A and B are shown apart, each in its own frame.
Chain A
Amino acid sequence: MSSTSSSATSGQARKERPLSPHLSIYKLIPNMIASIMHRITGVALYFGTVLVAWWLIAAAAGPAYFDYVNGFFGSLFGMLILLGYTWALMHHLLGGLRHFAWDASKLISKQMSTKLAYATFIGSGALTLLVWLIAMLVR
């Protein structure tokens, strides 16, 4: 046990070194939430590509399998996923546009970035509603 305990002690010693302040120490401001949501929606869209590929493969496979997959997307569960997908896409799109502005050193002030964070939340919600409204109308 002596060899393992000595390695555990050295591991312990490494953990005791001072750390720079991390997420939990800062006040949660709108810009932080927008940034976190940008990453979460990005990860969601990453796995959402499976649904896009599934839909395309179904369309390429033929009418029977396409109807089956369409049935899934048309179900309540499927529509909830697609609604979330639409919002994630719109949020990530607007978040990306924010990053382009910041890359050009524009709109990066404390006040402006807070406004942009709110604009991203409101804008992504509005765009999601708009897309679904059009989708319902063209049906």
Chain B
Amino acid sequence: MSIKTPFKRVEGLGSAKDGTEHFWRQRLTALANVPLIIAFVWIVVSLNGEDHATVAATFANPFVAVVMLLVIVSALYHAKLGMQVVIEDYIHGELAKYALLVANIFFTFGIAVLAVFAILKMGFGS
């Protein structure tokens, strides 16, 4: 005899209040990362040794800018999910764990917004 309400039982989410969403998003961003990282390496390699004018002109191309935005968003979301698992696996002190989980979100969001701002600035022609 369970003390759970029928709704809670059918939800099946337990005390974590969370199902396979983390796993699903981790794999979804991983799938997106495969072509995006190949494109990212392509862009960086093709710009090897080029001067500022060429690099700025490349990112002024809407296609390059949009691909680079997708790279940043997908990779940093994936990084956030991955680092969360690493923290949860190794850090067991409550305060340290939650401090690092929060820092992880702040870091990945911060880096993503910095990169997105830079790409948009070049994309819209600085």
Listed in ascending order, the chain A residues whose CB lies under 8 Å from chain B are 39, 42-43, 45-46, 49-50, 52-53, 56-57, 59-60, 62-63, 66-67, 86, 89, 93, 96-97, 99-100, 103, 131, 134-136, 138-139
Kindly identify which residue among A57, A59, A96, A131 contacts B114, using a CB–CB cutoff of 8 Å.
A57
Q: Are B52 and A46 in contact (CB under 8 A)?
A: no
Cβ contacts under 8 Å, B45 to chain A? 131, 134-135, 138
Listed in ascending order, the chain B residues whose CB lies under 8 Å from chain A are 27, 30-31, 33-34, 37, 41, 45-46, 48-49, 51-53, 55-56, 59, 68, 72, 75-76, 79, 82-83, 86, 108, 111, 114-115, 117-119, 121-122, 126
Contact (A49, B52) CB under 8 Å given A96-B34, A134-B45: no
Q: Are A52 and B115 in contact (CB under 8 A)?
A: yes
Mind listing 27 A-B residue pairs with CB under 8 Å?
A42-B83, A46-B82, A49-B75, A49-B76, A50-B111, A53-B111, A53-B115, A53-B118, A56-B114, A56-B122, A57-B118, A59-B56, A59-B122, A60-B56, A60-B59, A60-B117, A62-B126, A63-B51, A67-B52, A89-B37, A96-B30, A99-B27, A100-B27, A100-B31, A135-B45, A136-B48, A138-B48
Contact (A100, B37) CB under 8 Å given A57-B114, A63-B53: no
Cβ contacts under 8 Å, A139 to chain B? 48-49
Cα distance A122–B83 in the bound complex, in angstroms: 26
* Secondary structure of the A contact surface, majority rule: helix
For residue B47, give the distance in angstroms from its CB to the closest CB of chain A: 9
Give 12 new A-B contacts, CB below 8 A, not counting A56-B114, A93-B37.
A45-B79, A49-B75, A49-B76, A49-B111, A53-B115, A59-B56, A59-B59, A59-B118, A60-B119, A62-B52, A103-B27, A135-B45
Q: A60, A66, A131, A138: which has the most chain B beta carbons within 10 Å? A: A60
Cβ contacts under 8 Å, A57 to chain B? 114-115, 117-118
Cβ contacts under 8 Å, A96 to chain B? 30, 33-34
Nearest residue, chain A, Cβ from B75? A49
For residue A106, give the distance in angstroms from its CB to the closest CB of chain B: 15
